[in-house]
Amino acid sequence: MYDLLTKPFEKLRAYEGYGPLFLRLIVGFHLIYGTQDNVFSYARMLEFREFLVHHGFPFPLFSAFLSVYAQFLAGICFLLGLCVRLAGSIMIVNFLVAIAMVHIGDAYPAVFPALMMLFSAVFFTLSGAGNCSLDRAMELRKMAIVSSKPLN
């Protein structure tokens, strides 16, 4: 019975490495969209600082800049498929802090976006960028360079 259900999808195994692209695109876009106002407007950054003050963050202006630029740059990395594992690991820390400091006690619908970002970051850290990425292109280039060196 299991084979009957899975056999039609066996040919898709050849495309497994392209699956992360779709998650990278939406997560990267969401991170950039959610932070671009703070990146391009100091007044919006100060509003975010006040939000962090309200939630008891230490060094709220520094924390605001750190979180905003980490998310913005991670979003760019996810879109490009560049340094995805590094960006993912930074986002794990960012969203663990966000959940612990801001969302503890919130109802599930309110914490869901942060959980999606956290779990996506875990996925990227563990799985990497996939085949359609700059990370993969650089990996293939490195392999080609290494394999073309003469053996002594």
pLDDT tens profile 106-118: 999 999 999 999 9
In this structure, the dihedral spanned by the alpha carbons of residues 24, 41, 57 and 103, taken in order and rounded to 10 degrees, is -50
Query: HSE (CB half, 13 Å, CA atoms) of 63?
Result: 20
Report d(CA 10, CA 4) in Å as an integer: 11
pLDDT tens digits for the chain (152 residues)? 898 899 999 999 999 999 999 999 999 999 999 999 999 999 999 999 999 999 999 999 999 999 999 999 999 999 999 999 999 999 999 999 999 999 999 999 999 999 999 999 999 999 999 999 999 999 999 999 888 776 56
Mean model confidence pLDDT for the chain: 96
pTM of the shown model: 0.90
pLDDT of res. 151: 59
